[in-house]
Structure 1
Amino acid sequence: MPSSTTARVWDLPVRIIHWLFVVLIAVSWWTAENNELEYHRYSGYALLGLLVFRIYWGFAGTHTARFSNFIRGPGAIVEYLRGAGRVAGHNPLGALSVIVLLLLLAAQVGLGLFAVDVDGIESGPLSHLVSFDTGRECAELHEDLFNVLIGFVVVHVAAVLFYLFVRRENLIGAMIHGKRELPSAAVVPQEPFPVVRFIVGVILSGLVVWYITRG
C-alpha cells in the first residue's frame, strides 16, 4: 500500500481569498436584493481587488496557487475521471472550476463597472465611458449573469459535498487549515512564503481598484 502523509497544499492568501469570495458573493446578492446599491458597489470593488490579486497570485504565488501547476488539458481530465489518484492542490476538474469561477466573476464585475441604474444615480464608476443605453444593457447582463454565477456556486457546493461524503476527501477542511492527506509521491516540496511578492500583489490590487473606482 502506498505511503501517505499530511502536507500543506494551500497558502494563506489562497484560503483567505476563497472565503472572501464566498462572503462577498453573498453580500453582493443581499445588497442587490434589498436595493442597497451603495453597499453593493463597495462589495463589487472588493471583489475586483480580490480578482486582481488572485490572477496575479496565479503567476507569482506558491506552487499550488500558480496556474501553470494546475491548469491541464482535456487528457488530464479524462485520466482523472478514470481514477487517477489525489494530487497536491487542484485536481484537473477543480482547476477547471477555478478558471470558470474567475471568468464569471471577472465578467460580472466588469459589467458592473459600466452598468447604469435606471435613474442614473447608482451607476458604475466607468459608466460615463458608454452611452446610457449601453450602460443599461450592461446592468441587465450584470443581473442575468449573477444568476449564472449562483448556479455555478450551487454546482460547486454539490461537488464539494460529493467529495466529502462519497470520496471521503474533506476539501472544506483543507481550505480552512491548508493541509491534506496525500500519497507521499504527490507531495510537492515546501517553499518559503514569498513575502515580497505578496506585498507587491496587495499594492497592485489596491492601485487597480483605486484607479478604476475614481472614475
Structure 2
Amino acid sequence: MNIEPSSPVRSGPAGEWRRVRVWDLPTRLFHWLAVGLVVLAWLSQRMNWMQLHVRAGETLLALVLFRLLWGCCGSETARFSRLLASPAAAWRHLRQLARREPDTQVGHNAAGGWMVALLLALLLVETLSGLYVNNDIADEGPLSEIVPAVIANAISAIHAYGWDVLAAAVVLHVCAIALYALLKGHNLVRPMVTGVKPLPAATRAPRRASLWLAALLMAFSALVTALLAFYL
C-alpha cells in the first residue's frame, strides 16, 4: 500500500481517510488549458479574430494529441484502460446518481470516463477539420488547398456542426459536475485543481508517469501539429 508521508490519516464518517494524489500535473494542465483554449476559440470566432482562432485551434490540437498519447502510456488514472468501463457499468453508475454517498472513486467514474472519451473525440474532429476549413469567403485552413473544393466544403460543414455538438457536450459535462455536487455531495472540480482528494486510508495511490515522458510526448505532439499546419 502506497501511503504518502504528506497525507496524514484522519477519521471520517466511513472510517479512516487520507489525502491521495489521483491526478498528475500533465493531466490537470491539459484539462484547464483545453478549457481556456475552447473558450478562446469561441470568443475569437465570435469577434472574427480568425488568426487567433486558428492559433487556438492548432494549440488545442497539439494538446489533444498529447492527451491521446498520455492515455496510452501516461499515469495510471489518465490511461484509457482505466478510463473506459463497460457500458453496463456506466449505466449502473448513473442509476445511483441520486444516492448520497462518500466519494471513494480513484480517477473518473464509470460514466465520467465515457464523457471524457466523447469530449476528446469531438475535440480531435473539431481541430483536425479546422485544418481543412474553407468557407469560400476569406478563411482557409492550412490544408484546404490540397483537397477538392467539394470535400473541403463538406469538412467545413463538419467543423461548423461539430462545434455545436462539442458545445452541447461541454454543457452536459458541466451540468453533470453540478449534479454530482448537489445530489451526491461530490466535489469533482477540486481534485482536478489540486490533484488530491480524500479517500479511504487503505486506498492505493495510483502510479504516476514521469514528467520527462510528458514533456517528450508534448514536444512530439507539437511537432506533428506544426507539420500538419505549416508544411503539408
What TM-score comes out, normalization by structure 2 length?
Answer: 0.85
Distance in 2 of aligned mates of 1:118 and 1:81: 45
Select the residue among 135, 144, 155 that pairs with 2:152. Answer: 135
Aligned length: 213
Instruction: List aligned pairs for 1:54-93, cutoff 5 A.
Output: 54-83=67-96, 86-93=104-111
1:82-101 Cα shifts (integer Å, max 9, x gaps): 54963200001110011000
| Aligned-pair CA distance for 1:2 | 4.2
| Aligned-pair CA distance for 1:192 | 5.2
Distance in 1 of aligned mates of 2:91 and 2:154: 39
- Runs (5+) with no aligned partner, structure 1: none
RMSD between superposed Cα atoms in Å: 1.8
Q: 2:185: which partner in 1?
A: 168
1:203 aligned to 2:216? no
Cα 1:192–1:70 shift into 2, 3 Å: closer
- Runs (5+) with no aligned partner, structure 2: 1-13
| Aligned-pair CA distance for 1:3 | 3.3
CA contact (8 A) 1:88 1:188 kept: no
Distance in 2 of aligned mates of 1:48 and 1:93: 25
Aligned residue type for 1:24: L
Q: 1:178: which partner in 2?
A: 195
Distance in 2 of aligned mates of 1:209 and 1:110: 10
User: Larger C-alpha radius of gyration, 1 or 2?
Assistant: 2
Aligned residue type for 2:213: R
| Aligned-pair CA distance for 1:191 | 3.6
Select the residue among 170, 184, 187 that pairs with 1:153. Answer: 170
After TM superposition, the runs of 4+ consecutive aligned structure 1 residues lying more than 6 A away are none
Distance in 2 of aligned mates of 1:117 and 1:158: 33
Distance in 1 of aligned mates of 2:162 and 2:208: 39
What TM-score comes out, normalization by structure 1 length?
Answer: 0.91
1:96 aligned to 2:114? yes
1:110 aligned to 2:128? yes
1:38-78 Cα shifts (integer Å, max 9, x gaps): 11110110110000100010012111011112211123213
Cα 1:6–1:115 shift into 2, 3 Å: same
Q: 1:39: which partner in 2?
A: 52
Q: 1:27: which partner in 2?
A: 40
Distance in 1 of aligned mates of 2:66 and 2:217: 6
Distance in 2 of aligned mates of 1:210 and 1:34: 25
